Amino acid sequence: MKIPRRLDEILPAAAMEKFLDVLQQPDISGKVREALHRVGLQDNSPLDKVKEAWQQARSWLDTISASTANPEGEPLTLNATGQMLSSSLREIPLAPAVAYGYAKAATHYRTAASVQQKATSAVEHLLGRHASTWLGSTAEALRLLASGDGCRGGVVLSRVDAVNIASVGNIHAMLSAGKHALREIGAANGVSADDWQQAVVEPGQCVVL
């Protein structure tokens, strides 16, 4: 679909202006005002408001059409997703496999295996090739952390994650009640990769992600 450059390509602006000018003639405007009064409208200048509304709409549409103007003069097109494409891409069809990939990404659909792989890769990138375990139950993970003997170097936790979780409770309180030292890192609004790398320096530390 071609993107209009001017309002004249969408609406007959000149004809609309002429129509409003004709309505402003005394004999016609008087009859229009009389007809409006008969149906209960007591506005003394209805045509002026119609003209003002038209001018505002025209200014708004002109702004929109101008914002889509291509400085190189090439016509822009809209594809099926509503995105604007250059004219050089106008005739290129979207392969079914690519379309499926876009749809899958848009719905945020992920398999359990891909989530596990991505999580493991994130740990390796941030913390090196240390052992990691991902548990599906937050409550079970916290119980093991608080009671287990595998965290001789203490527990490292992001301050962002030291919060209350529905049906679980306060993470900070539960870990603090355990036998391991608890260390919070980062700020209340986030934690960086540098924060993690500077915190994980002792052997036997457990990191909660």
| Tokens coding 143 | 């119980």
C-alpha distance from residue 125 to each of 117, 122, 207 (Å): 12, 5, 14
- Given strand 155-158, what is the order of strands in its sheet? 182-185, 155-158, 206-208
Nearest to 209 by CA among 151, 153, 135, 140: 135
The answer to whether the beta carbons of residues 47 and 41 sit under 8 Å apart is no
For 191-207, write each residue's pLDDT tens digit: 887 887 788 777 777 77
The answer to whether the beta carbons of residues 155 and 175 sit under 8 Å apart is yes
For 150-187, write each residue's pLDDT tens digit: 677 788 888 777 776 666 677 777 777 777 788 888 88
The answer to whether the beta carbons of residues 89 and 97 sit under 8 Å apart is no
d(CA 73, CA 156): 57
Domain ranges of the chain: 7-69, 129-208
- The pLDDT score that the predictor gives to residue 164 is 64
For 66-113, write each residue's pLDDT tens digit: 544 555 555 544 445 444 444 444 444 555 555 566 566 555 545 667
The answer to whether the beta carbons of residues 23 and 47 sit under 8 Å apart is yes
- The pLDDT score that the predictor gives to residue 86 is 41
d(CA 79, CA 185): 46
All residues at 6 or more sequence positions from 6 whose CB lies less than 8 Å from its CB, including other chains: 62, 65
Q: At what angle do helices 13-23 and 46-67 cross, to 10 degrees?
A: 170
pTM (2 decimals)?
A: 0.38
Largest CA distance in the chain: 96
